[in-house]
């Protein structure tokens, strides 16, 4: 863990500033979300799983913006580690206002190659931790915070492909479908203390087997001829956290990608020939 914030200033921050826990925020989309929230007055709990260097770099970058930040390690597939995470953030910052469930696994399978192992891998990374962290935020607010704090919010990162389904990345897609359903049910269960929302990105960052050229091409394969950028996603996450009348809703931020049927995942659409079973 890194802690570059003096105790006195941490206490004054805790009194004045809201705190967001962003899972998987050492790099990529989570990092952009963390930086955007920090620019708009949030102190940030940077959750990471891998090597600490990237998380510490992100913490330093966040602190340079003038707020507090701290890195927290957890493998969210480990239930005990996941349950311990939010109490650790509360112990450090004194409060948590928002949880952004951004961390995710994205590994290829298809109905023909489906296995319990593939489903377990994606469910334990993409679905179950988001539910536990939402419940933990609710418990924190029930025990320690005002009854109707309109800022208490969970934002789940989902995927536009739920509205535009195809069998590629089958277990990943199922785990995100469960997360979208959980977003609605948790919004019902955790009201009025905690709001639960979703953001469904289109193709935003180079992922999986895509080449840079394929990514550039895929980014334009939408009705608006542009998919989402990290900034589009980050500002939508912030909008939801700052919108006290919204709960149980997922916003699609994808250049309209979900409006057009696609026979294969966008990962493969820009390729000249579509593999039957990509590796
Ligand atoms: N990128 C896109 O174009 C796109 C499109 C649609 C939806 N999304 C969604 O947006 C979110 C962010 O996307 P991304 O591409 O930035 O994500 P990513 O890089 O694939 O993953 C984000 C982080 O999740 C962490 N993670 C995975 N499994 C974990 C576990 N069991 N415990 C703790 N951390 C774990 C990884 O940590 P390690 O680095 O340690 O492995 C990784 O740094 C995801 O939920 C994704 O499904 C992204």
- Bond from prior residue into 226 cis (ω within 30 degrees of 0): no
Determine the distance separating the centroid of ligand 1 and the alpha carbon of 260, expressed in angstroms.
25
Judge whether 89 lies within some domain. Answer: yes
* C-alpha span between 61 and 32 (Å, rounded): 11
Judge whether 2 lies within some domain. Answer: no
Ligand 1 site residues (CB inside 6 A) read 24, 26-30, 49-50, 75-77, 102-106, 125, 157, 159, 201, 203-205, 207
Judge whether 261 lies within some domain. Answer: yes
DSSP SS3 for 171: helix
Pair 134, 154: CB distance under 8 Å: yes
Assign residue 63 the CATH number of its domain: 3.40.50.720
Judge whether 180 lies within some domain. Answer: yes
Which ranges in 145-211 belong to alpha helices (H)? Answer: 170-190
Short-list 84, 98, 83, CA closest to 37: 98
Short-list 172, 69, 182, CA closest to 133: 182
SS3 letters across 74-104: CCCCCHHHHHHHHHHHHHHHCCCCEEEECCC
User: Could you read off the pLDDT tens digit of each residue along the chain, which spans 279 residues?
Assistant: 343 343 444 444 445 589 999 999 999 999 999 999 999 999 999 999 999 999 999 999 999 999 999 999 999 999 999 999 999 999 999 999 999 999 999 999 999 999 999 999 999 999 999 999 999 999 999 998 766 677 799 999 999 999 999 999 999 999 999 999 999 999 999 999 999 999 999 999 999 889 999 999 999 999 999 999 999 999 999 999 999 999 999 999 999 999 998 888 888 877 744 444 544
Determine the distance separating the centroid of ligand 1 and the alpha carbon of 121, expressed in angstroms.
13
Judge whether 276 lies within some domain. Answer: no
Q: Which of 23, 49, 54, 215 to mutate to test the pocket of ligand 1 (most atoms within 8 A of CB)?
A: 49
Pair 164, 177: CB distance under 8 Å: no
Question: Which value, to the nearest 10 degrees, does the dihedral of the CA atoms of residues 1, 59, 63, 155 take?
Answer: -110
Give the pair of three-digit tokens for residue 142. 């029930």
Cα→Cα distances 159→24, 104, 129, Å: 16, 11, 17
In this structure, what are the phi and psi dihedrals at residue 182, rounded to the nearest 5 degrees?
A: -65, -30
Judge whether 105 lies within some domain. Answer: yes
* 166, HSE (Cβ side, Cα atoms, 13 Å): 14
Split into its structural domains, the chain has a count of 1
Give the structural domain span for 175. Answer: 7-269
Judge whether 238 lies within some domain. Answer: yes
Judge whether 116 lies within some domain. Answer: yes
């Amino acid at each position: 863990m890194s802690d570059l914030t003096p105790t006195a200033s941490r206490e004054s921050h805790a009194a004045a500033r809201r705190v967001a826990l962003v899972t998987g925020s050492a790099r990529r989309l989570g990092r952009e979300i963390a930086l955007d929230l920090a620019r708009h007055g949030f102190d940030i709990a940077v959750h990471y799983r891998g090597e600490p260097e990237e998380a510490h770099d992100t913490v330093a970058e966040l602190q340079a913006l003038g707020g507090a930040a701290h890195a927290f390690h957890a493998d969210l597939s480990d239930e005990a580690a996941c349950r311990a995470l939010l109490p650790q953030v509360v112990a450090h910052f004194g409060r948590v206002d928002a949880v952004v469930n951004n961390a995710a696994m994205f590994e290829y399978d298809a109905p023909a190659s489906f296995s319990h192992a593939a489903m377990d891998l994606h469910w334990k990374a993409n679905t179950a931790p988001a539910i536990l962290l939402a419940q933990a935020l609710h418990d924190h607010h029930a025990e320690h915070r005002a009854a109707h704090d309109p800022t208490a919010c969970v934002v789940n990162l989902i995927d536009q492909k739920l509205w535009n389904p195809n069998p590629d990345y089958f277990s990943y897609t199922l785990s995100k479908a469960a997360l979208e359903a959980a977003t609605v049910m948790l919004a019902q269960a955790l009201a009025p203390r905690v709001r639960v929302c979703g953001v469904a990105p289109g193709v935003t960052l180079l992922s999986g087997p895509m080449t840079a050229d394929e990514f550039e091409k895929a980014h334009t394969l939408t009705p608006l001829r542009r998919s989402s950028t990290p900034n589009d996603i980050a500002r939508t996450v912030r909008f939801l956290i700052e919108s006290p009348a919204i709960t149980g809703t997922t916003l699609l931020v994808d250049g309209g990608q979900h409006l057009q049927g696609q026979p294969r995942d966008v990962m493969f659409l820009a390729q000249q020939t579509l593999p039957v079973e990509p590796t």
